[in-house]
Amino acid sequence: MNFDYLKEIKNLIATIEKDEMQHMEECTQLLADAVLNKKSIYIFGASHAGILSQEMYYRAGGLMLINPIFGREVLLDISPITHTSKMERLVGYGTSIAETVDFKKDDVLLVHSVSGRNPVTIEIAKYAKEKGCKVVGITNLSYSKSVTSRHPSGKNMYEYCDVVLDNHGDIGDACVSIEGLEQKVSPTSTVIGSIMLNTIVAAVTQELVNRGMEHPPIFYSANLDGGDELNQKLYEEYKDSIHYKF
């Protein structure tokens, strides 16, 4: 059996620990400041990149203040699925999504795109930055720098970001070579992106406690006795920064 994927993920985790800790710390401070100042935190990704939006949203042990931005036309339940690729590349669609979000100065946007070349994520990052938000990009820098932008600006997503979290994956994302095949299999971006963001959630929570916050806005499990009540109490305190229905 081929267990190379496990080896590749372990190697990437070691690389993240070596090369991305400073960037993760910068992201931690931005998010901690946003929570303390009751700013809003948003996250967006198109197609499979949007899996991280779901991972960070309404999750036991996750930050309550993370608001997902879902573009209907780039969700994975669309049929035919190739429609998502067309919409990712459609100039103006990302701006249309961004215009529905009430971005304010010093809010934080987390935006995920492995290649960072498609207009939808470029436009959302650009729009949020113009509104005074801090933008954190999760991408593959070597991949993004190897491809041209599909946006009229000529820029890729990372060029609109204040902090860049590099997933250090292979160009093309898939990482496991199969004997007799040219195409690699098993992408790494979702796993590594999730590891980085959940590490940051833990670091943000610790930072908030260190700064004197007794009850950081972290979701309690609704399946634990008293969990619903605790979540409701935290929601009432932070509801101005939470933009999804609770």
Residue 69 has pLDDT above 90, yes or no: yes
Q: What angle do CA 136, 187, 47 make, to 5 degrees?
A: 60
Position 236 in a domain: yes
DSSP symbols for 217-246: SBPPPTTSTTHHHHHHHHHHHHGGG--S--
Number of domains observed in the structure of the chain: 1
Q: How far is CA 100 from CA 30, 60, 96, 124, 225, in A?
A: 23, 27, 7, 11, 37
Domain CATH code at residue 149: 3.40.50.10490
What pLDDT band is residue 80 in, cutting at 50, 70 and 90? Answer: very high
State the Cα–Cα distance between residues 186 and 174, nearest whole angstrom: 5
Position 14 in a domain: yes
Position 11 in a domain: yes
Cis peptide leading into residue 187 (ω within 30°): no
Position 246 in a domain: no
Position 47 in a domain: yes
pLDDT tens-place string over residues 142-185: 999 999 999 999 999 999 999 999 999 999 999 999 999 999 99
- The share of the chain scoring above pLDDT 90, in percent, equals 97
Q: Give me the pLDDT at residue 246, please.
A: 83
Q: Give me the pLDDT at residue 88, please.
A: 97
Position 70 in a domain: yes
DSSP symbols for 103-157: --TT-EEEEE-SS--SHHHHHHHHHHHHTT-EEEEEE-HHHHHTS--SSTT---G
What pLDDT band is residue 2 in, cutting at 50, 70 and 90? Answer: confident
Q: Give me the pLDDT at residue 75, please.
A: 95
Position 200 in a domain: yes
Taking residues 115-133, report their average pLDDT: 98
In the numeric block, the tokens 């593959």 are attached to: 140
Of 191, 140, 157, 166, the closest CA to residue 19 belongs to: 166
Cis peptide leading into residue 80 (ω within 30°): yes
State the Cα–Cα distance between residues 81 and 84, nearest whole angstrom: 6
Strands 134-139 and 66-69: unpaired
**What is the average pLDDT score of the chain?**
96
State the Cα–Cα distance between residues 197 and 234, nearest whole angstrom: 22
Q: What is the pTM of this model?
A: 0.95
State the Cα–Cα distance between residues 82 and 129, nearest whole angstrom: 29
In the numeric block, the tokens 């006795």 are attached to: 225
In the numeric block, the tokens 């267990």 are attached to: 3
Q: Give me the pLDDT at residue 1, please.
A: 78
Structural domain containing residue 229: 4-241
Taking residues 8-28, report their average pLDDT: 98
pLDDT tens-place string over residues 23-68: 999 999 999 999 999 999 999 999 999 999 999 999 999 999 999 9
